[in-house]
Amino acid sequence: MTAVITDTAIVGAPVDRVDGPAKVTGAARYPSDVCYPDLAHAALVQSAIAAGTISGIDAGQALAAPGVLAVITHQNCPPLADAPATPLGPSPRFPLRDNRIVHYGQHVAVVVADTPEQAVAAARLVAIDYQRAEPVLGIGNPEAPVVRNPRLETERGDVTAALASAAVTYDETFTTPAEVNNPIGLFATAARWDGGRLVVHDCTQWPMMTRHVLATVFGLPEDDVRVLVPYLGGGFGAGLITWPHVILAALAARVTGRPVKLVLTRPQMFTSVGHRAQTVQRLRLGATRDFTLTAIDHDATSTVGAQDATMEPVTAVTPLSYACANVATHGRQVRLNVPNPGWLRAPGKAVGNFSLESALDELSYALGIDPVDLRLRNHADVNPQSGRPWSSNALRECYLAGAKHFGWAGRDPAVRSMRDGQWLVGYGMAGVTFGGFYGPCRASITLSRDGTARVRSAATDIGTGTYTVAAQLTAELLGLRTSQVVVEIGDSDLPPAPQSGGSGLATALSTAIHAAAGNLLRAFLDLAPGGSPLHGRSPDEVSVADGCIHLIADPSAGLAYTDLLAGGDLDEVTADGEVTPQAIAAGMPPAGAFAAHFAEVRVDEDLGLVRVTRMTSAVDAGRILNEKLARSQILGAVVMGIGMTLFEETVFDPATGRIANPTFADYLIPVSADIPDLDVIFVGELDRSNPVGVKGLGEIGIVGVPAAIANAVYHATGRRIRSLPITIDKLL
């Protein structure tokens, strides 16, 4: 099966989630729901300083407490191997390897007891003495070690000369704070040792990589580690790293000889599973008086942990965004005594776009041109880095269709010109070039004599709808009903799959399913007996519908899958499919998704209150596998973007490094009253880089939202806010 899918009846339809009934009835088992008859429970003890060493630990009272089975510290921790590097970067430092403290809230001990209440109570009894050191804190701290990041150093043309000769120049600095992923579901790990085999239920977005890390750390063959995550209560990137608490849960199970569950508390989520790094960005632009961009220079500094090397790719997409002959990007990190940053939805791109698209908006006012028109005039018709055609690009259509749907033409371009009573009204917009990626993936499909198909892959569903779109695509490719397809995912024993992150899983998995379905169809054609109308036929000569294979030339001639299985005396037939980076590189590189966001805000002139009153998001995501789920992904991402713009900020105490707002009472996130009606429209055509024509859209919805809102705030008030979040004090 090699043809690109065209008009279909199932793919794209707004099918309800196939996993919906299990979730709403409570049948879906999340890692925190896992239970064994002899399950023990673990609680973490965390550092009360940000830098220094542990000079002594007294676990006597904790060990004597009711129900306590073990207290594991660096003093009695069995030797473990270093966690390996992953394709997304190095693994975090294991904290019980020595007595060093590198951030406030670092895990310094784990207590295991019969019940969670006993474990938590005993954890409070562990007495720790510290030798304090002065922590390095603050992104502007001159004493902070600086790490240059060569992957973010790019240059085409001569930016210095272009800026010097530009008729109009721009030079401003933007800042964004640390933000925490904060899924509603607390991260949990349940681990048990079955003989020499380790079985782990974990809130991971990448079962295969978690298996690899655990196998390396515990010195096991990878086949002796099984990682299960059939359901995940949100991750937003936090589940892309195997964090130390996962290793501690498995270690506690090995030490005690019992299954162990470890559930992070909400404050521990702030210190244990990453956060979006803080950034400072300088944007310099050059342009001609006829609205042509001649120079873009994007310089970014981000924070990183004292013993970490996670990269926040702030400037990664800047060179792809516009048809500008002279572009340079620069990236550096400052090492601080803070918890390790990690991946948070659209890492780097969400913050990098804020500065770039805000700068473009400012430039439009300086040049006297509509912000949409400025972007259209500088649209990159081909990939500006490689000069090669995009595999697809409907960004122009995003601008035009989004502006029409939003009513952009009704905008008075003058600042502070639109009003509704006490409210100043502003319109703002931002464009988004995301960039494409997907990794190697395998899938298998088994079609049984009862007429059902079973799709298997080690992919995960983090709430985005993987179960459903996999079922829809398989049903379409094999001519079945969606109800005839069973999807098995979230298990590292299944065919390997990449992470659910980076907006790449839908493309990778759908391409692997497409290949598996083609191979399965060939296998069934090979079963056609002599004299059958299907005997000796190729996949290009047949079509599938209603559980049957038909000749295209004669739709009345064909056989059911079940008849072919019965004729061959087989209960089932299985076929595998695979997509590899080599295959991707040999074809057309994926372009990734594009979007344009339009926002209307109202600002109380006296109080500085900001209300987002409506938004329109026009998105090019190639083929939409399920319109309902795709729209939901964009809506959720836009809500996160509103939170990022107006509310969210992780506050580190400048003296101690302690996070001052590690609960939902103090860390502000948007609630329903903060969210207006959100419109989403999909534009564009099938992407040519893969046979399904799909592009990932898990992150495109958040990128561009902060700039669109900030630009609307400027249009309403004349106040240019270059520091997130946009709070009342910045508008008074």
> Which of 619, 667, 595, 548 has the alpha carbon at shortest distance from 432?
595
The C-alpha atoms of residue 406 and residue 414 are separated, in whole angstroms, by 18
Whether the Cβ atoms of residue 175 and residue 727 lie closer than 8 Å to each other: no
Same domain, 535 and 600: no
Per-residue model confidence as pLDDT tens digits over 533-563? 999 999 999 999 999 999 999 998 899 999 9
Same domain, 448 and 315: no
Question: Does 6 have pLDDT greater than 60?
Answer: no
Residues assigned a catalytic role: 699
Report the pLDDT value the prediction gives residue 233, as an integer from 0 to 100: 87
Mean per-residue pLDDT for 240-244?
A: 98
What is the C-alpha R_g of the chain? 27
Per-residue model confidence as pLDDT tens digits over 318-347? 999 999 999 999 999 999 999 999 999 999
Same domain, 542 and 406: no
Per-residue model confidence as pLDDT tens digits over 658-685? 999 999 999 999 999 999 999 999 999 9
- Asked, for residue 151, whether it belongs to a domain, the answer is no
For residue 555, whether the previous peptide bond is cis, meaning omega lies within 30 degrees of 0, is no
Whether the Cβ atoms of residue 214 and residue 247 lie closer than 8 Å to each other: yes
- Asked, for residue 174, whether it belongs to a domain, the answer is no
Q: What is the CATH number of the domain that holds 346?
A: 3.30.365.10
**CA dist 219 → 84, 213, 241, 326, 597 (Å):** 12, 10, 19, 50, 49
Give the model's confidence band at 5: pLDDT under 50 very low, under 70 low, under 90 confident, else very high: very low
**More confident of the two residues 649 and 195:** 649
**CA dist 625 → 234, 469, 589, 628, 684 (Å):** 21, 6, 20, 9, 14
Q: Which residue type is seen at 26?
A: G
For residue 585, give both structure tokens: 């590189």
What's the number of domains the chain is made of? 3
Structural domain boundaries enclosing 59: 34-134+182-272
Report the pLDDT value the prediction gives residue 436, as an integer from 0 to 100: 84
Question: Does 696 have pLDDT greater than 80?
Answer: yes
3-state secondary structure 16-67: CCCCHHHHHCCCCCCHHHCCCCCCEEEEEEECCCCCEEEEEEECHHHHHCCC
Whether the Cβ atoms of residue 482 and residue 18 lie closer than 8 Å to each other: yes
**Which of 535, 552, 586 marks a domain boundary?**
586
Q: Which residue type is seen at 250?
A: A
Q: What is the CATH number of the domain that holds 235?
A: 3.90.1170.50
Question: Does 626 have pLDDT greater than 50?
Answer: yes
Number of residues that this document lists for the chain: 732
Same domain, 558 and 456: yes
Report the pLDDT value the prediction gives residue 586, as an integer from 0 to 100: 66
Mean per-residue pLDDT for 170-187?
A: 97
**Which of 257, 272, 287 marks a domain boundary?**
272
- Asked, for residue 225, whether it belongs to a domain, the answer is yes
**Which of 272, 292, 325 marks a domain boundary?**
272
- Asked, for residue 164, whether it belongs to a domain, the answer is no
Mean per-residue pLDDT for 42-50?
A: 98
Mean per-residue pLDDT for 145-166?
A: 95
Backbone angles phi, psi at 577, to 5 degrees: -140, 150
Mean per-residue pLDDT for 152-178?
A: 97
Give the model's confidence band at 295: pLDDT under 50 very low, under 70 low, under 90 confident, else very high: very high
Report the pLDDT value the prediction gives residue 585, as an integer from 0 to 100: 64
At which residue do the structure tokens 């005997």 appear? 535
The C-alpha atoms of residue 656 and residue 338 are separated, in whole angstroms, by 10
Same domain, 607 and 565: no
Same domain, 560 and 626: no
Same domain, 689 and 568: no
Question: Does 98 have pLDDT greater than 90?
Answer: yes
The C-alpha atoms of residue 699 and residue 687 are separated, in whole angstroms, by 17
Same domain, 343 and 305: yes
* Order of strands, sheet of 107-113, starting from the edge strand that comes earlier in the sequence: 68-73, 107-113, 40-46, 260-263, 188-194, 197-202, 225-228
Distance between start and end Cα atoms, the chain: 62
The C-alpha atoms of residue 616 and residue 600 are separated, in whole angstroms, by 9
- Asked, for residue 15, whether it belongs to a domain, the answer is no
